[in-house]
């Protein structure tokens, strides 16, 4: 099972990858939205913002998200680490229910480029 530190590191790596992306991926990541990532097996939630092509983690706390972020992710820690490392395809994980992504229809349409 991935640790909290490994999950945080995976989010930082994802943020770095988004910042250096080009084309459609770069424009999709240019949203300015509140973000939460609930790690179900650890019982923790990272909250922050997707802004200027980066994920800015602002807080980490125990339990599910306390507020409804504009973009909400939920998954197990191992799945987060595997996706960021390229060992798990996000679209397949989402379709199978291993990963949950919730956002407005407009944001989902923009985010699909990242998937």
pLDDT 10s digits, 45-63: 999 999 988 999 999 999 9
pLDDT at 115 over 70: no
Look at residue 68 in the predicted model and tell me its pLDDT. 96
Kindly state the DSSP code that residue 64 receives in the 8-state scheme. S
18 has pLDDT over 90: no
**Taking a C-beta distance cutoff of 8 angstroms, is the pair 49, 58 a contact?**
yes
Whole-angstrom Cα distance, residue 28 to residue 101? Answer: 15
- Tell me what pLDDT residue 55 has: 93
Calculate mean pLDDT across residues 59-80. 97
Residue 64: pLDDT band (50, 70, 90) is very high
Q: What pTM value is reported for the model?
A: 0.92
Q: Record the tokens describing residue 87, joined without a space.
A: 């060992």
Decide if pLDDT at 25 tops 80: no
Tell me how far CA of residue 84 lies from CA of 18, 63, 88, 107, in angstroms.
Answer: 11, 23, 8, 21
**What's residue 19's pLDDT?**
82
Instruction: Give the span between the Cα atoms of 10 and 96, in whole angstroms.
Output: 21
Task: Please state, in angstroms and rounded to a whole number, the distance separating the CA atoms of residues 75 and 98.
Answer: 6
What are the residues facing 71 on neighbouring strands?
35
Q: Is 85 exposed, middle or buried (0-12, 13-18, 19+ CB in 10 A)?
A: exposed
The band of 81, judged by pLDDT with boundaries at 50, 70 and 90, is: very high
* Predicted pLDDT of residue 110: 83
């Amino acid at each position: 099972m991935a640790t909290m530190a490994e999950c945080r590191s995976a989010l930082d790596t994802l943020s770095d990858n988004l910042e250096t992306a080009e084309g459609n991926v770069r424009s999709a990541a240019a949203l300015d939205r509140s973000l939460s990532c609930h790690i179900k097996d650890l019982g923790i939630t990272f909250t922050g913002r997707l802004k200027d092509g980066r994920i800015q983690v602002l807080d980490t706390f125990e339990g599910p998200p306390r507020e409804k972020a504009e973009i909400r992710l939920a998954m197990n820690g191992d799945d987060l680490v595997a996706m960021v490392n390229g060992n798990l395809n996000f679209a397949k994980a989402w379709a199978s229910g291993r990963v949950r992504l919730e956002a407005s229809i407009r944001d989902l349409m923009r985010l699909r480029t990242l998937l």
